[in-house]
């Protein structure tokens, strides 16, 4: 049932074309970062992580709000609040995975430096963790947790900047720091993965709890 829901949400969001701006922006950033020498592979990946995070937030908000509130009530009556929000989180995570894959492969294909498999794996894991963090933040910024679009945008921008303001703290800052200094990467990635999962599951739970009160 959740698989069918994910397929429905994907077909619906693809028709809206609202996914285009964040992906275009991300493509432009990837092209810019890789047009010349991006530097040592790990710090190059750290630079991309900075952008994967907000793009994942944006895509998640697009996915969560592609159905208007009335049509969402129809889907909820059909499938239930839990399944609908689980499907939103799942599809957003798949979108984050897609973005992370693009960002992992882009430097491998364009940079003259060698990219050993272990470095690619670390880069992919870091990008995925930052993307998943974006999914969690996006779920928290979208309907039904935040019901007005203006507030969604403001909160999303605030949370994106907040992740960079406090230096090397989880879930984003510690990953960037670890990649930049090539130090304590496994610990940083594990901590951040736990944070990202907690954010996503917590946000989904909040959406499921607030939905019936606000519908």
Note the residues at the interface with another protein (CB under 8 A): 1, 4-5, 7-8, 11-12, 15-16, 68, 70-71, 73-81, 212-213, 215
Shortest Cβ distance from residue 204 to another protein (Å)?
Answer: 17
Neighbouring CB atoms inside 10 A of 154's CB total 13
Cβ closest to another protein, residue 71 vs residue 181? 71
C-alpha angle 139/81/214, rounded to 5°?
A: 75
CA distances from 79 to 3, 102, 201 (A): 12, 32, 19
Q: Match 């129809």 to its residue by tokens.
A: 74
Torsion of CA 161, 17, 46, 169, to 10 degrees: 30
Nearer to another protein, 4 or 157 (CB): 4
The smaller minimum CB distance to another protein, of residues 83 and 120, is found at: 83
At closest approach, how far in Å is the CB of 200 from another protein?
Answer: 22
CB of 99 to another protein, least distance (A): 23
Smallest distance, another protein to C-beta of residue 52, A:
27
Closest to another protein by CB, 181 or 214: 214
> What is the four-CA torsion angle of 115, 119, 121, 127, rounded to 10 degrees?
-100
CB of 143 to another protein, least distance (A): 14
Question: Measured between alpha carbons, how far is residue 97 from residues 9, 18, 36, 43, 56 in Å?
Answer: 17, 18, 25, 20, 9
Q: Which is nearer to another protein, 7 or 181 (CB)?
A: 7
How far is 54 from 50, CA to CA, in rounded Å? 8
């Amino acid at each position: 049932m959740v698989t069918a829901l994910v397929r429905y949400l994907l077909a619906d969001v693809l028709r809206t074309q609202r996914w285009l701006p964040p992906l275009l922006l991300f493509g432009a950033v990837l092209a810019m970062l890789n047009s010349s020498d991006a530097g040592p592979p790990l710090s190059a990946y750290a630079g991309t992580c900075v952008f994967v995070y907000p793009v994942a937030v944006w895509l998640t908000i697009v996915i969560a709000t592609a159905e208007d509130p009335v049509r969402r009530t129809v889907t909820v009556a059909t499938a239930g609040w839990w399944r609908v929000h689980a499907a939103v989180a799942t599809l957003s995570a798949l979108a984050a995975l897609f973005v992370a894959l693009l960002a992992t492969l882009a430097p491998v294909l364009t940079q003259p430096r060698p990219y050993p498999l272990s470095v690619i794996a670390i880069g992919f894991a870091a990008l995925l963790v930052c993307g998943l963090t974006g999914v969690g933040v996006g779920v928290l910024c979208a309907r039904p947790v935040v019901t007005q679009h203006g507030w969604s945008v403001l909160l999303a921008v605030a949370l994106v900047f907040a992740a960079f303001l406090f230096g090397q703290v989880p879930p984003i800052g510690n990953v960037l720091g670890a990649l930049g200094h090539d130090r304590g990467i496994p610990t940083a990635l594990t901590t951040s993965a736990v944070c990202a999962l907690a954010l996503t599951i917590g946000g989904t739970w909040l959406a499921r709890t607030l939905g019936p009160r606000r519908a």
